Structures are given as C-alpha cells and as structure tokens.
C-alpha cells in the first residue's frame, strides 16, 4: 500500500514537472524535462515491482516522451531546408 502511494505521488510530481517545463521565454526547458523523465522512471520502477503493468507502461511512455521533447529542445536538427 505504501509503495503504491509512493508511486502515485512520484507520478504526480513528474506530471507537475512536465507541465511546468516551459521557461520564461516560452521554450521547453531541457533540464526540467529530464527531471520529469527521471521521476516518471522512478514511478515506473515502483509499479514494475508491484506488477502493475498498465501503470508501468504508461509511466515508461511518459518518460520517453519527456526525453524526446528534451532532445528536440536543446539540439534537434533544424527542419528548415
């Protein structure tokens, strides 16, 4: 029960960080996105241990999305051609 609650709080913290990953200039903040991805991964690991596979996959998917956004925000190749 405690681990399940811990996973939920960690997931909510990650969602908060993801929602607030925009800096003052209106651009994505790579550091905040990486922090969110790390929190999603922590939540996913707890859920893996609890064998909550649907929640595990959801958290892993969100971690991946945050990492993809972070990669595009700091050095993605320009599409202008």
Rounded to 10 deg, the angle between the 30-49 and 53-75 helix axes is 160
pLDDT band at 71 (very low <50, low <70, confident <90, very high): confident
| Domain ranges (residues) in the chain | 2-75
Proportion of the chain in helix, strand, coil states, percent, rounded to 5? 75, 0, 20
* Model-wide pTM > 0.85: no
pLDDT band at 81 (very low <50, low <70, confident <90, very high): very low
Residue pLDDT, tens place only, 9-63: 999 999 999 988 988 888 888 899 999 999 999 999 999 999 999 999 999 999 9
């Amino acid at each position: 029960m405690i681990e399940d609650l811990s996973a939920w709080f960690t997931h909510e913290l990650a969602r908060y960080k993801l929602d607030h990953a925009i800096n003052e200039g209106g651009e994505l903040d790579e550091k905040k996105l990486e922090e969110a991805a790390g929190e999603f991964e922590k939540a996913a690991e707890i859920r893996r241990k609890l064998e909550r596979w649907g929640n595990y996959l959801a958290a892993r998917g969100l971690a991946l999305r945050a990492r993809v956004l972070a990669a595009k925000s700091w050095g993605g190749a320009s599409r202008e051609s």
